[in-house]
Structure formats: C-alpha cells, structure tokens
C-alpha cells in the first residue's frame, strides 16, 4: 500500500468513522478486549447494546471472574457461539490470577490467555495499548485483496501470502500503524464491502485500486457450498440454549418438543452442550451451569 493510499484511508476515517464507545479514549483495555471477542462473526448493531450492558455489569476482569456461569450465559443472550462467553470468563479469571487484574501488554502475553488468538491479541495490542501490531480481520483482508492484489475477494483461509501483504502494508511509525489498522478495517466494513462495494465513496479511488483498474473482475469460482442454518445442529443448540436462558432449566419433554420428528437430533445437541460446558445434566433434562 503506497504512503498516499495510507494517508487517504486515515483521513477518510477521521472524517467518516463511526463513533463507537469502545473507540473512546477513556475506554479500558478490558472493555476493548470484550468488544473484540463479541465482534467475532457478529455485527456491530447486535454487539453494541450487549457490550454496554456487559460493561455496566462487569466493568473489570475481577467482576466477571466472580460471576456465575449461568449469569454469564444469560447476559451473553443471543450473540451466538456462546462458548465465547465461557472463554471470556476464563480469560478474566486468568487476568486476575496471573496479571493482577490488568490486561497484559504484548501479543505473546495476550495469546497465553484463554480464548485469545492471533487476531484478538493483535487488536488489543493496537487499539487498547496503542502499539504496532499486524491486525487482520475479514474487512482488512478484503481491502488489501482488492486495492493491492486486484482480486474481488481474498481466499477463504488466511494465507501466509496475505499475512506478508498485511505486514508490508503496516506503517512503521507506531501512531500511524494504529490509525491505519482502525481506518482500513472501517473502510472494509462501510465502503469496501463484500457484496456491494461503494467504490465512488472510497478514499482510494484517487490514488488507485488494483481491482478497479482491472475492471472489477468477479470472484473466482468456489465449489464449496455454504450450509443452510435452518435444520442444523447449530440451530438446535441455539434453541436449547434459549430455553435454558429463559427458564434456567428444561425438562426432557421440553427438550424433545423442540423437534418431535427427530429426537435423536435433540439428544445429540443436548449432549454436545454438556460436553462444551454450556449446560449440565439435571434430574430430568438440562440446566444452566
């Protein structure tokens, strides 16, 4: 990414970036870490109210560490992938136990925490601690694939070549690197979107985009099919969790009523929730931990 392109994207963000609470200067590192975990595969509109309620209830790692598992799962509500809630509580407990209740500095230290992978460690390093880190999410991958590589979409799996491209594109100056990470991520979320990119609004239109220059070629064919959500075990797991969040427990009869035509599916999903620590066996059915 040329320097004038970096400047253009950073200037665009300063004028057009969303005013999200986890971007405010007085936001704690813990609050930013929570936002990054919640935002994984979940839209901002769904995360915002849940994050605000979560931080009002558990503003510090020690607060979440002391909560019951049932409280945590109820508060997580319908954000999806509820195992993230359990990992977040485990992360809070590790921060209290091993770091005196303060989110540690450095990607290496962050990645030792439960549930914190490459992306989240880099994001917390950049956005909470304002240090240089290669932050790469789906939005950043898409912007770089188009503007630099001339491709409509990146590969499904994050590759070594993409990591190298993101590393080369990151400004060396610490302050500019943080601004770039935040700006290019927002550009992918608001303008350089997957399905309907608004190229006429893109700050890179003046400095050049390889994809636009190539005539905006269509994505390469991908033979892999996307599984429908309706009728999946994931959907059934979500329905069972909704029952448990609402009532605290569900009888075997209530569970089987979720799919009377396929009781084996209900049993299989209930068993998997227990295995994941999201539910425990009760005398007649399941309950929250």
Report which of 204, 60, 82 is spatially closest to residue 71, judged by C-alpha positions: 82
pLDDT band at 282 (very low <50, low <70, confident <90, very high): confident
> Which are the catalytic amino acids?
36
The domain boundary residue, chosen from 127, 157, 189: 127
Is residue 207 assigned to a domain? Answer: no
Average pLDDT over residues 120-142: 97
Is residue 94 assigned to a domain? Answer: yes
The domain boundary residue, chosen from 112, 127, 142: 127
> For position 227, what pLDDT does the model report?
58
Is the whole-model pTM more than 0.85?
A: yes
Give whole-number Cα distances, 126 to 29, 119, 223, 260, 262, in Å. 10, 11, 36, 49, 48
Tens of pLDDT, residue by residue over 17-75, are 999 999 999 999 999 999 999 999 899 999 999 999 999 999 999 999 999 999 999 99
Query: Which CATH number does the domain housing residue 270 bear?
Result: 1.10.10
For β-strands 249-251 and 285-287, DSSP reports them as antiparallel
Mean pLDDT of the chain: 93
Query: What residues form DSSP beta bridges with 281?
Result: 286
Average pLDDT over residues 166-194: 97
Tokens describing residue 61:
């790692």
Is residue 149 assigned to a domain? Answer: no
Tens of pLDDT, residue by residue over 220-267, are 755 444 557 778 888 888 889 888 888 899 999 888 888 888 888 989
> For position 234, what pLDDT does the model report?
84
> For position 221, what pLDDT does the model report?
59
The domain boundary residue, chosen from 92, 111, 127: 127
> For position 224, what pLDDT does the model report?
43
**Given a cut of 50, is residue 144 above it in pLDDT?**
yes
Is residue 220 assigned to a domain? Answer: no
Query: Which CATH number does the domain housing residue 82 bear?
Result: 1.10.340.30
As for how many domains the chain has, the answer is 2
pLDDT band at 92 (very low <50, low <70, confident <90, very high): very high
> For position 124, what pLDDT does the model report?
98
Is residue 189 assigned to a domain? Answer: no
Is residue 115 assigned to a domain? Answer: yes
Is residue 269 assigned to a domain? Answer: yes
Is residue 185 assigned to a domain? Answer: no
**Given a cut of 70, is residue 93 above it in pLDDT?**
yes
Q: Note down the domain range covering 54.
A: 28-127
Rounded Cα–Cα distance for residues 285 and 231 (Å) = 22
């Amino acid at each position: 990414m040329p320097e004038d392109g970096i400047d253009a994207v950073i200037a665009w963000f300063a004028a057009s970036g969303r005013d999200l609470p986890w971007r405010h200067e007085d936001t704690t590192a813990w609050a930013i870490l929570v936002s990054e975990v919640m935002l994984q595969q979940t839209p901002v509109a769904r995360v915002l109210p849940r994050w605000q309620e979560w931080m009002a209830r558990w503003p510090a790692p020690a607060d979440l560490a002391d909560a019951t598992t049932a409280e945590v799962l109820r508060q997580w509500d319908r954000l999806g992938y509820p195992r993230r809630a359990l990992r977040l509580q485990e992360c809070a407990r590790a921060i209290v136990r091993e770091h005196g209740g303060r989110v540690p500095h450095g990607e290496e230290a962050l990645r030792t925490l439960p549930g914190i992978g490459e992306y989240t460690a880099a994001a917390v390093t950049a956005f909470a601690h304002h240090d240089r880190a290669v932050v790469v999410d789906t939005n950043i991958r898409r912007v770089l694939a188009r503007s630099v590589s001339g491709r409509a979409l990146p590969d499904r799996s994050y590759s070594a070549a993409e990591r190298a491209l993101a590393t080369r594109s990151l400004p060396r100056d610490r302050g500019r690197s943080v601004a770039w990470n935040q700006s290019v991520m927002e550009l992918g979320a608001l303008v350089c979107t997957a399905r309907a990119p608004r190229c006429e609004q893109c700050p890179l239109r003046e400095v050049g985009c390889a994809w636009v220059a190539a005539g905006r070629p269509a994505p390469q064919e991908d033979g892999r099919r996307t599984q429908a959500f309706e009728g999946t075990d994931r959907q059934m797991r979500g329905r069972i969790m909704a029952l448990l969040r609402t009532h605290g427990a569900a009888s075997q009869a209530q569970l089987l009523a979720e799919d009377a035509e396929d009781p084996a599916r209900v049993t299989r999903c209930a068993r998997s929730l227990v295995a994941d620590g999201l539910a425990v066996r009760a005398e007649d059915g399941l309950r929250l931990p």
